[in-house]
Amino acid sequence: MNKSLFLLAAILMVTVSGSMQAQGPAPKSAGVATLTARNMGVEPLKLATADPNFLIGADDVLSIDVWKEPELSRTVPVRPDGKISLPLLSDLEAAGMTPTQLASAIRTELRTIVVNPQVTVIVTQINSRRIYVLGEVARVGAYPLISNMTVLQALSTAGGLTAFADLNKIHVMRTENERQQIFRFQYKEVISGRKPDQNIQLKPGDTVVVP
């Protein structure tokens, strides 16, 4: 390469580098959440599988481990009738029981074929308890209802509010006994501590709407 070509290449590299620095970081899109889990001051959620009082329901997925018995250990779904199927055992009722209670029931059934069985039950997917978050949040969708989940925690799980959210018109829709109830949630009033009672604990099937 002769000297003139080398100088031309150097000039082009400097020009491109300066242009990229002048542009700076890419601008954020208008719809990006401005009130996120980090800056909403929300307490971390307690995992349902860590809650000793969590009740198993239909469509949940369970990991059942029988120590030193791999042929009896497996991951099974809870059927719509609330029961599970395991090899060498009749169908067992799982819905309405805690993981500890179900492990004890399985252990009792296995004692006729296994000496001193050690059983562990872990809920790997929670599909029986869901809430829904709609509207101006970062991630609209259905979410597992974690133990003692509040409205603030649901908004945090959905990634926080967008820049277009109406903070005074957030509400929770709930259907009980074929009647629909509406619970208001004024974000600024709740976050300031003036109306903490609006930060209600959610129930299965609740829908949080953020206009």
Q: Are residues 178 and 144 in the same domain?
A: yes
Say what the pLDDT of residue 77 is.
Answer: 96
Q: Are residues 163 and 61 in the same domain?
A: no
Q: Does residue 36 contact residue 42 with C-beta atoms inside 8 Å?
A: no
Say what the pLDDT of residue 1 is.
Answer: 47
Q: Of 87, 103, 125, which closes a domain?
A: 125
144 lies in a domain?
A: yes
pLDDT (tens digit, 9 = 90+) per residue, 162-180?
Answer: 999 999 999 999 998 889 9
Report whether pLDDT(7) > 70.
Answer: no
CA distance 38 to 138: 13
CA distance 65 to 4: 74
Q: Are residues 166 and 196 in the same domain?
A: yes
75 lies in a domain?
A: yes
146 lies in a domain?
A: yes
Say what the pLDDT of residue 45 is.
Answer: 52
**Domain of 140, in residue numbers:** 33-46+128-210
Q: Which residues pair with 133 in a beta bridge?
A: 141, 208
Q: Of 125, 141, 156, which closes a domain?
A: 125
Say what the pLDDT of residue 57 is.
Answer: 93
CA distance 187 to 42: 12
From 25-34, 45-54, 72-81, 175-184, the region with the lowest mean pLDDT:
25-34
Q: Of 104, 125, 146, which closes a domain?
A: 125
pLDDT (tens digit, 9 = 90+) per residue, 150-160?
Answer: 999 999 999 99
Q: Are residues 115 and 185 in the same domain?
A: no
Q: Are residues 191 and 137 in the same domain?
A: yes
How would DSSP label each residue in 9-20? HHHHHHHHHHHH
Count the domains in the chain. Answer: 2
Report whether pLDDT(147) > 60.
Answer: yes
| CATH code (residue 106) | 3.30.1950.10
12 lies in a domain?
A: no
| CATH code (residue 167) | 3.10.560.10
| Best-predicted range by mean pLDDT (21-25, 31-35, 129-133) | 129-133
Q: Which residues pair with 7 in a beta bridge?
A: none
The DSSP letter of residue 32 is S
63 lies in a domain?
A: yes
CA distance 67 to 64: 10
Tokens, residue 72: 């009896």
**Phi/psi class of residue 109: alpha, beta or left (left: φ > 0; alpha: ψ in -120 to 50)?**
alpha
Q: Which comes out higher in pLDDT, residue 20 or 116?
A: 116
pLDDT (tens digit, 9 = 90+) per residue, 80-128?
Answer: 999 999 999 989 999 999 999 999 999 999 999 999 999 999 999 888 9
Q: Are residues 161 and 111 in the same domain?
A: no
